[in-house]
Structure 1
Amino acid sequence: MTVTEYGKQLTVTETTIPGLVVFDLPVHGDARGWFKENWQREKMTGLGLADFGPVQNNISFNDAVGTTRGIHAEPWDKWVSVATGRIFGAWVDLREGPSFGAVYTTELDPSKAIFVPRGVGNSYQTLEPDTAYTYLVNDHWSPDAAYSFLNLADETAGIEWPIPLAEVEISPKDLAHPRLAGVTPIPPKKILIVGANGQLGRALRAEYGDAAHIEYTDRTTLDITAPGLAGARRWRDYGTIINAAAYTKVDVAETPEGRREAWVGNVTGVTELARIATANGITLVHVSSDYVFDGTSDRPYREDDPVAPLGVYGQTKAAGDAVVATVPRHYIVRTSWVIGDGNNFVRTMASLAERGINPLVVNDQTGRLTFTTDIARGIRHLLDTHADYGVYNLTGDGDPQTWADIARQVFELTGHDPARVTGVSTEEYFSSATAPVAPRPRNSVLDLSKALGAGLTLADARARLRDHVGASTP
């Protein structure tokens, strides 16, 4: 019988299967027995392991040497260790992707544990009698979950079991599992895109396409403000929610009805999504706005600058940001002056130019245009690269402009005289308004250092405008 090794340092070792990580555990013992911290969240996550949020602890006790179980791949993560005894473990990647079929084997005793990510097949063979095999999982068993199984004797995996399978105890169910060629791979966790029919939603559709694990919803198929949202999906099957839905009628939000709708759309619904994301370990991506600032800064706004919204719309966006910031896994993407597929400032200016109308355009608000295709690409980059969670400013790059500057550029790009555009102050522009008008931040320029440091490629706003107008002009 193997004697447990005492006095190890807590260390982590990567394996040949992505995400499958082995931990050496400190075990303290003497003639009386031993003690160990089998799971210590702060220390394990401090070494880089994701806080996978275990909800259930299972123990499998095995009387005899050679008891063999597996190969089972479930749609949840596991922290596997041995309470007493010793096992030979074999893990096979049964997830969709390039590592499908990869195999890793090692022995576990009480001084070693392994983190098994969702979709990696798990199996073991006992090497000592009275072995207790224990595992933490971060979901509850469900008949509706997607499972995959692999035959212990699969020739492709070629696992070299210490005791031949013909000589050991195996359940009939495990003997009947398919070979690798017949295995249904475990798909990735789903990405849910909320508000998929809006300007940003359509850009996200173009970015992500029709991959099977991407789910698009609008208000008719999933109303985030309706009661019962927590039971509307099996949320443990989702890894990411991208919230592209928002109330954006800036001026209407200053009316009594608009104020109510803005708070419902930008805060109430977001709060429900945040609650679901927190409870189910989901990454929540939320799109914010330059309107959370008052625009009085004499420099570009950084992510950590205090918010000071001027109007109702900005207040609801700031409140939504504060809620999302409580989600352990969150990205708040703060943007400005958004242009996408649909009615927008650029399309309006091009139409005025074509119809011979000489517009008055505000020249005391400064910022950068941001195209929805770039926001969608930036969101995907943050998710794909597992960037640090938090707030990221994401706009077009380059020198800031006023709305009047942009209007003149549109006139020029469409073959019209830019001098036809007259710049006016915000007060002059709205002086004849009969409906409520929301206050606008004068400085909407956002500092892009953090996004660039995270590897995002942010296109020059002027160049992107040229491309956009060129693509829109017959």
Structure 2
Amino acid sequence: MNDSNSLTIRPTQIAGLLELSMPVHADERGWFKENWQREKMVAAGLPDFHPVQNNVSFNAFRGTTRGLHAEPWDKYISVLSGKIFGAWVDLRPGAGFGTVYTATVGPDSALFIPRGVANGFQTLDPDTVYSYLVTEHWTEQARSNYSYVNLADPTLGINWPISLDEAIISEADLKHPNLDEAKPVLPKKIAVLGGTGQLGRALTALGVEDPRIEVFSRAEFDFERSGFLEGFPWANYSHVINAAAMTAVDEAETPPGRRRAWQVNSTAVASLAARCAQHDVTLVHVSTDYVFDGKDQDVKEQHPISPLSVYGQSKAAGEVAVLSHPNHVVVRTSWVVGEGKNFVDTMFNLAQRGVSPKVIDDQFGRPTFAVDLAQAIMHLIDTGQPGGTYHLQGEGEVTSWYELARRVFSLSGHDPDRVAPTSAVEYLSSVALAAPRPRNSSFSLNKIRATGYLPVNYLVRLEEYIEAKRNIVQILD
């Protein structure tokens, strides 16, 4: 028995499966150990896995054999009395599928078993007590997401200390499928709220190749409806990406628009953040350049927020609400261009129709293409970046709406001189209850670059986007 005062955690051949060596303090009366100590174990390398249920299995006889079961949650197993031979099999899809790890476990050791890894054990002593902490409450519905593999499958090569012919095994465990027929345990899903917007559509496109991504429309998650989060199966999801927002900046200055903006961009977001925190689901929230006053260029993530408009104020309040969730990511972006209504589409259509617009020449920023925003969010998720706030927009020189419009006309095959410049004051003077806009909407991208994500130059994306639009026009003609 380990009487050292040191706690050690080491990886195994199965990714995420960790073996702990634990101090056990023994004397003539018996022994004592800290079976689970969050602060020490997390500091030593154990995931901060937030268990919600503790199960205990008492096994009266030596040779009792259970498994191999893979449940849709993380587990932390330990032995409180006696000793076991444990076996674990990776049933997650990928290169590690079928990898086996075995170990003898007594009171001086424990294992952290990630979701999708099958767990089995055989008692080596009578009166063995086996304990496991789990990260989800057990329900009958959860059983449908279990996976199993047969204890005796020869392809696994598990050398059980006590022959399975002599072991005590349930009829159900004897009938589990062999590895070649075992159901892979898929990773938890990523819910996208606001699926009909430009970002939602870009994430939908990524979901064609990534089965984790599940997109919900406004009809399914209406932020203006009371109780819009009720009945959501939180246990099936690791992340929620909130791409939903009320973005009609001028309408938000009207009495009914103000109510909508605050409900959708702030009040509902606070409810979403609280529910995600309750269920330990990471929240990725998309915000905007409108939380700033626009006095500075290339602003960093820690720049003080100072919104000018009702829309900006409601989005800033939403950001503050999200900060209450320990596992949050805020991605601020600007000038989004994707499938749906956007500035580039508007300019392209005006060019096609022969209209010569006046466009603001004293507001500056960079476009963000929705495909890049979607890929950046998935990069942050997949690379396990720390929570916090990140800025994302296209790479390239700061431009104005006027210069961007001229480039759209030129790429569309039309004379860019048809675009005339105008000031923001002059342009907005014709709009009733016009919302004030930030003069500058350019971000520093150093933080997101440091994660390994390299933003694409917006001029490259713009050429691709306009070419695709022109091809559609030619097909329709």
Q: CA deviation at 1:372?
A: 0.4
Partner-residue secondary structure (3-state), 2:437: coil
8 Å Cα contact 2:207/2:214 also seen in 1: no
Counting matched residue pairs gives: 469
Name the residue aligned to 1:259: 258
**Residues 74-473 of structure 1 mapped to structure 2, 5 A cutoff:** 74-145=71-142, 146-209=145-208, 212-297=211-296, 299-433=297-431, 435-473=432-470
Question: What letter corresponds to residue 112 of structure 1 in structure 2?
Answer: S
Q: Please tell me the residue identity of whatever aligns with 1:386.
A: G
Judge conservation of contact 2:2–2:21 (CA < 8 Å) in 1.
no
Unaligned runs of at least 5 residues, structure 2: 472-477
Question: Can you list the C-alpha shifts for 1:289-326, whole angstroms capped at 9, x where unaligned?
Answer: 000111112x4111112211111111111111111222
Note closer, same or farther for the CA distance 1:261–1:340 as it changes in structure 2 (3 Å cut).
same
Kindly provide the CA deviation profile for residues 412-461 of structure 1, in whole angstroms up to 9, marking residues without a partner as x. Answer: 2223332332322211111233x111111111111100110111120112
44-53 or 243-252, which moves further after superposition? 44-53
TM-score by length of 1: 0.95
Could you give the per-residue CA deviations for residues 36-62 of structure 1, whole angstroms, max 9, x where no partner exists?
222121222223332211011111122
Q: TM-score, normalising length from structure 2? A: 0.94
* Aligned partner letter, 1:177: H
In 2: Cα distance, 1:22 partner to 1:129 partner: 23
Structure 1 residue 359, shift from structure 2 partner:
2.1
Using the TM superposition, name which of 141-150 and 248-257 deviates more: 141-150
CA RMSD of aligned residues (A): 1.7
- Runs of 5+ consecutive residues of structure 1 not aligned to the other structure: none
Deviation of the 1:374 alpha carbon: 0.6
Q: Judge conservation of contact 1:224–1:272 (CA < 8 Å) in 2.
A: no
Cα distance in 2 between the residues matched to 1:47 and 1:300: 39
Letter in 2 for 1:285: V
Corresponding letter in the other structure for 2:374: A
* SS of corresponding position for 1:165: coil
Amino acid at match of 1:471: A
Q: State, as a whole percentage, how many aligned pairs show the same letter.
A: 52
**Change over 3 Å in CA distance of 1:362–1:465 after alignment to 2:** same
CA contact (8 A) 2:196 2:218 kept: no
Q: How far apart in 2 are the matches of 1:50 and 1:437?
A: 49
- State the one-letter code of the partner of 2:412: T
Q: Give the Cα separation in 1 of the matches to 2:156 and 2:63.
A: 19
- Give the drift of 1:225: 4.0
Match of 2:23? 26
Whether 1:7 aligns to 2:13 is: no
1:126-150 CA deviation, whole Å, 9 max, x = no partner? 1222221111111111111111122
> 2:418 & 2:321 partners in 1: Cα distance?
45
Deviations 1:100-154 (A, max 9, x none): 2111111111121110011211111112222211111111111111111222111
User: Aligned equivalents of 1:422 and 1:223: distance in 2?
Assistant: 40
Q: Secondary structure at the match of 2:141?
A: coil
Aligned-partner SS, 2:86: strand
Asked if structure 2 preserves the Cα contact closer than 8 Å seen for 1:93 and 1:103, the reply is yes
- Contact 1:22/1:115 (<8 A) preserved: yes
